[in-house]
Structure 1
Amino acid sequence: MSLISISSLKEQAGEVPLIASVSAQLQARAVKTTKGGKPYFDLVFADATGSLNLKVWSDTPLHTEAENLPLNAIVRLEGEWTQNQYGVNGNGVSWARLDDAAIADFLAGDPVLRKKQEKDFQDISEMCAAMVDPRLRRLAEYFFEEMGDRFRRTAAAKKNHHARRGGLVEHVAQMMRSSVAICGIYPELNRDLMVAGVLFHDCGKLWENSYPEDGFGQIHSRYGEMLGHIPLGIELVNKLWNDLMEAGDFGDFTNSKPSTEDVRLHLLHLIGSHHGQLEFGSPVLPKTPEAYALHYIDNLDAKMEMLRDAYPQANEVAKGIYERVFPLAANLVEPLGEFSAGE
């Protein structure tokens, strides 16, 4: 039986049963009831590549094991897997606890994803180091010094896009590349401010979507639940900024333009407005060229990631047409291929 990741399972499972095993960590367990009154456990398992919901019915032998399996336990799931518009289904599933060597290998993460995230973090560091404004450059350096490890194990969301350990690094890196490219097209955009805005726009998610050092289950934080990542991001940047001011790291920029206070204010505006609409959680609407650009770059990267995930999971309802995958708004159509002149 082949051992694959959760993301590979979602890509390969379809109407025909897939026989495979997956190493995963129990992230959550909820007791639910069907419309007919039948109770079941809804278990959430996770690995470095994503999460998987598994229903365990009360009339199956696995139900007692599911009740007694401790949270954060790491197991190997084996079974037959199918997938429809509602997600992945496991049939005849069993599990076994992993030994120490297998656990260490599991916690190291998927090697392909780990290599990608290391490259993404390197790109982020290089683009931040290239900022001309020494205040924004030093702020980024200080952020990496104080929060770098936590940043590298944070997800960009709880679900829908980049919802995995290190997903925020992937999201920020791609957004930063897009921002640098767009700044070459729209000269009215401040490149340093765009790079810093991308780095810090979701930094509050270090308390909303972070992971422990030894697991793939997102941590539930009172700060994340009660405040949300936008207020937390504003507070974090203010804290880092004030630390640098008090330590004299910013030096004397009395005659520099723009003023230090203007730089801080514009950066905070990007964090506060990046959702683009009040009803989507932004306390203020975008009011600068950088704020508009950041909002659309953020939305674009999230949507492209959703599409990237959706095609392998969606069932083909007709040739080249795929069932809608939440949260996308409609059915998908097979993309146009690259031009080939043929023979």
Structure 2
Amino acid sequence: MRELKSITKDDLNQEVTFIALLIDVKIKATKTGGKYADLTVQDASSKQLVKLWDVAEEDWLQRAKDEIPVIEVKALVGEYQGKLQLTSRSIRKVDKDSIDMKKLVPSSKWNFDQMQQWLEEFRDRIQTPLIKTLVHEMVFQEPYYEKFCIYPAAKSVHHNFRHGILQHTLEVLKYCVVVATTKRLSQRQVDRLIAMAFLHDWAKIIEYEPLPSNKISDEGKMLGHIFIGSHHVMNKIELLEGFDREDALVILNGILGHHGALEWGSPVLPKSVEAQILHQADKLSGDVESILSFMQEQEESRETFTDRLWNMGTDYYKGGIS
């Protein structure tokens, strides 16, 4: 069986067989009135579009979007407008119990044990006891810790892979500490900033369902991770007797304002230097990951630049991709 990433233009006009997750289905009509499907399939190495011809009206594919089934695909490798195109006339479902799902779910390339160690080291930088307790109880205790370490950080734009929240949080923590050190923030400010970085996307363990589903939960759709997170943090702070009111206000504003603008989903703007650093660090982590993953998706293209990346509004030079 082939990994999706291993299928290249060297395979043109050959049939390949692979096992993948079926993550999206779009049924379309041909000019003659028949039906075909654009299937988005994914394994741990890559994501690919497959055109499936001769889709029957009652085909199980019409219900597959909600199931995220595992499928075996036999496809012919072709090329269309300079890009690979896989076409198939038949696919079959595969029993999930017979498959190692880790081979089908994208995962962070960072070492998991190292990430856990870094997370503990950042927690231990906090010197204000109750701020450290807040972070420890929200992140490092169950039922939260396992989800925090495994869940994706987004549905599609950035860090949408296993350990995504963990990697994104670490990136944000690293950026925040660099800026705080460079600008010589006080220890109290550093403690607040580290807490914000830990907790700004914490509620995505509630907003999203675990991979391979990665669907938005009912609570996520109704409330969103910014409200859910600030609500849980506020409740936890109220249980920590003696928690400083100013610390609470600054940390909560950072969580509520981390998207940086009302039109980007934050209900308030960042009102402290710590909150502004958090917003910029969060944006930098998301934007860079989005660009790099998009470049890697298009590394087989002969073009010097990528296609236009919708969330960044431009294309990107591909020189130096490794």
Aligning the two structures, in what range does the TM-score lie when normalised by the shorter sequence? 0.7 to 0.9
Instruction: Name the structure 2 match of 1:272.
Output: 256
Would the aligned equivalents of 1:46 and 1:217 in 2 still touch at CA under 8 Å? Answer: no
Would the aligned equivalents of 1:128 and 1:137 in 2 still touch at CA under 8 Å? Answer: yes
| Post-superposition offset of 1:148 | 1.0
- Cα distance in 2 for partners of 1:152, 1:87 equals 35
Q: 1:169 to 1:82 in 2, by over 3 A?
A: farther
Number of corresponding residues: 313
Instruction: Name the structure 2 match of 1:309.
Output: 293
Q: Supply the AA of the counterpart residue of 1:239.
A: N
Alignment partner of 1:275: what SS?
coil
| Post-superposition offset of 1:289 | 0.6
Alignment partner of 2:141: what SS?
helix
Coordinate RMSD, CA, aligned:
3.6
Alignment partner of 2:73: what SS?
strand
Q: 1:34 to 1:324 in 2, by over 3 A?
A: farther
Higher relative contact order (CA 8 A, sep 6+): 1
| Post-superposition offset of 1:158 | 1.0
Structure 1 alignment gaps of length 5 or more: 254-258, 338-343
Alignment partner of 1:333: what SS?
coil
Structural mapping, 1:237-316, within 5 Å: 237-242=233-238, 244-245=239-240, 253=242, 260-314=244-298, 315-316=301-302
- The alignment status of 1:90 with 2:74, answered yes or no, reads no
Match of 1:133 among 128, 134, 141: 128
Which runs of structure 1 show a deviation greater than 6 angstroms over 4 or more consecutive aligned residues?
34-38, 82-88, 108-112
Would the aligned equivalents of 2:151 and 2:163 in 1 still touch at CA under 8 Å? Answer: yes
Instruction: Name the structure 2 match of 1:199.
Output: 198
- The alignment status of 1:330 with 2:314, answered yes or no, reads yes
Match of 1:25 among 13, 18, 21: 21
Instruction: Name the structure 1 match of 2:213.
Output: 217
- Cα distance in 2 for partners of 1:83, 1:208 equals 38
Instruction: Name the structure 2 match of 1:124.
Output: 119
Q: Supply the AA of the counterpart residue of 1:185.
A: T
| Post-superposition offset of 1:136 | 1.7
- Cα distance in 1 for partners of 2:91, 2:320 equals 41
Q: 1:227 to 1:324 in 2, by over 3 A?
A: same
- Cα distance in 2 for partners of 1:84, 1:210 equals 35
Instruction: Name the structure 2 match of 1:155.
Output: 152
Q: 1:332 to 1:236 in 2, by over 3 A?
A: same
Would the aligned equivalents of 1:23 and 1:106 in 2 still touch at CA under 8 Å? Answer: no
| Post-superposition offset of 1:47 | 4.5
75-84 vs 117-126, which moves further: 75-84
Structure 2 alignment gaps of length 5 or more: none
Percent sequence identity over aligned pairs: 24
- Cα distance in 1 for partners of 2:319, 2:273 equals 32
| Post-superposition offset of 1:305 | 0.6
TM-score calculated relative to the size of structure 1: 0.76
Match of 1:66 among 47, 61, 83: 61
- The alignment status of 1:234 with 2:230, answered yes or no, reads yes
Instruction: Name the structure 2 match of 1:340.
Output: none
| Post-superposition offset of 1:260 | 1.3
72-81 vs 152-161, which moves further: 72-81
| Post-superposition offset of 1:54 | 4.5
